[in-house]
Amino acid sequence: MAFVSASNLRKSYDGEPAVVDLDLDIFAGEIFGLLGPNGAGKTTTIKMLATVLAPDSGDAEIGGYSIVSAPREVRRIIGLCPQDIALYEDMSARENLLFFGRMAGLNAREARTRAVECLATVNLDARADERVHRFSGGMKRRVNLAIALVNQPRLLFLDEPTVGVDPQSRARIYDTIRALAGEGTTVLYTTHYIEEAENLCNRVAIIDGGQIIAQDTPRGLHTLLPDTERPTLEDVFLHLTGRTLRDV
């Protein structure tokens, strides 16, 4: 049984379709990658599933709760790590964790405990009391991730969490994600880095024009190019989405 099951999700902005009749199943403990060119509908999909945006039509169930009729219940079991660094840079890493922990409904003691645990998870416990504006881009990304973990979500949305991050921080983020999945957390991961999706994700969906045009394991996707010797996921991606620039 899928932990996330979306059917016919649709969303338009000013009449321009961003996501069109999207169907998706993600299983518990799975790291599911959503790959697509700019403007393909990745972020809109995540926003709808994370109850940030209401779909124009269609629905999705997360852990048995509908994002349309039971968004409050959905919010209790999800964590969102947005594409941007969504935190307060004038506060320390610990203060951010405490604040967002309280916002997620934890009491003060729970928030303190979770702040310590989450900062240790992203290896920032030694810098916990420094203001975030002093951190490098990679460290900020790790705090961004730690905040998404503060309420121990069963489903974690990671929207391009490694943009602008150095290889060391990126490796640390991968380790964290793998460990979380190993503990049973389901992860929906969007990225531009195809190699990243190939190495990290159990399954990958390629989205373009607001629709999923292929989904399988990375190895399974390779079979879409039977005539190519040792195809990479990038070859498959370019084969399916074309080489035309999307943001000109």
Partner 1 sequence: MRALIIATREIRAYFSDVADLLFGLALPVLLTLLILAVFGTPDFYPTAHLVDMDSGEGALAFRERLGKRTELQELDPAEANRLLERSAVYHVLWIPAGFSDSLEAGEDARLRILQRGSGSVEGQVVTAIAHAVLSELAIEADARRRVHRFADALGVDDNTVDIDARTDAFLARESSAPLVGVATETVGAQPDMALRTVAGVLGMFLLFTVTLGGVATVEERRSGVVQRLKTMGVGASDFFVGKLVSGAFKGILQAGIMLALLSLLDVPPELPRLLGALAFAVLALLAFGSFGLLLGGLARTREQALWAAILFTMISAVSGGTFFEVGANPTTAAIARASPVYYAIEGLGGILEGGGGLAIVGPLTVLFAITLILGPIALVCLRRAWERGS
Contact set with partner 1 (CB under 8 A): 47, 50-54, 72, 75-76, 78-80, 82-88, 90-91, 95, 99-100, 102-105, 147-148, 151
CB of residue 85 vs partner 1: minimum separation in angstroms? 7
Q: How many CB atoms lie within 10 A of CB 129?
A: 10
CB of residue 15 vs partner 1: minimum separation in angstroms? 16
CB of residue 71 vs partner 1: minimum separation in angstroms? 9
Closer CB to partner 1, residue 40 or residue 53?
53
Q: Which residues of 77-96 are buried (b: 16+ CB within 10 A; e: fewer)?
A: bbbbbbeebebeeeebbbbb
Tokens of 68: 């349309």
For helices 108-121 and 93-103, the axis angle rounded to 10 degrees is 130
Closer CB to partner 1, residue 95 or residue 125?
95
CB of residue 39 vs partner 1: minimum separation in angstroms? 16
Helix (H) or strand (E) run with residue 68 in it: none
CB of residue 73 vs partner 1: minimum separation in angstroms? 10
For helices 108-121 and 137-149, the axis angle rounded to 10 degrees is 140
How buried is 151 (Cβ within 10 angstroms: 0-12 exposed, 13-18 middle, 19+ buried)? buried
CB of residue 103 vs partner 1: minimum separation in angstroms? 5
Q: Which residue has the tokens 């190895």?
A: 219
Residue pair 148/187 in contact (Cβ under 8 Å)? The answer is no
Nearest to 177 by CA among 193, 196, 205: 196
Closer CB to partner 1, residue 47 or residue 172?
47
CB of residue 72 vs partner 1: minimum separation in angstroms? 6
According to DSSP, residue 224 is labeled T
SS3 letters across 8-39: EEEEEECCEEEEEEEEEEECCCCEEEEECCCC
